[in-house]
Structure 1
Amino acid sequence: MNSAPQDGKLTFDQCWELLAASVVGRLALIVDGHPEIFPVNFVIEHRSIVFRTAAGTKLWQSGKETPAAFEIDGYDADSQEAWSVVARGTTAIVDSDVEQAAADALGLEPWEPGDKSHYIRLSLQVLTGRRFKVAAPHIWSTRLTDQRRTSFE
Structure 2
Amino acid sequence: MEPSEEDPITPLDEDECWALLRSAEVGRLAVSVRGEPDIFPVNYVVDGRSVVFRTAEGAKLLELTINSRVAFEADGWDERFAWSVVIKGAARRVEREVEILRADTLPLRPWTATLKYNYVRIEPGEVTGRRLLRGEEPERYPV
Equivalent in the alignment of 2:22: 20
Alignment of 1:81 with 2:85, yes or no, is no
TM-score where L is the length of structure 2: 0.84
* Structure 1: gaps spanning 5 or more residues: 138-153
- Paired residue for 1:112? 112
- 1:1-153 counterparts in 2 under 5 A? 3-4=1-2, 8-77=10-79, 80-136=80-136
CA RMSD of the aligned region, Å? 2.0
C-alpha distance after superposition, 1:44-64 (max 9, x if no partner): 123111111011111111123
How many residues matched? 134
Q: Which runs of 5+ in 2 are unaligned?
A: 138-143
| Secondary structure class of the residue paired with 1:42 | strand
* Deviations 1:104-132, CA, capped at 9 Å, x for gaps: 32211111221210111111000000011
Q: Is the deviation greater in 17-26 or in 93-102?
A: 93-102
Aligned-partner SS, 1:63: helix
Q: C-alpha separation between the residues in 2 aligned to 1:46 and 1:63?
A: 23
Q: Percent identity?
A: 44
**Structure whose residues are more often strand by fraction:** 2
Alignment check: 8 A CA contact 1:64 1:92 kept:
no
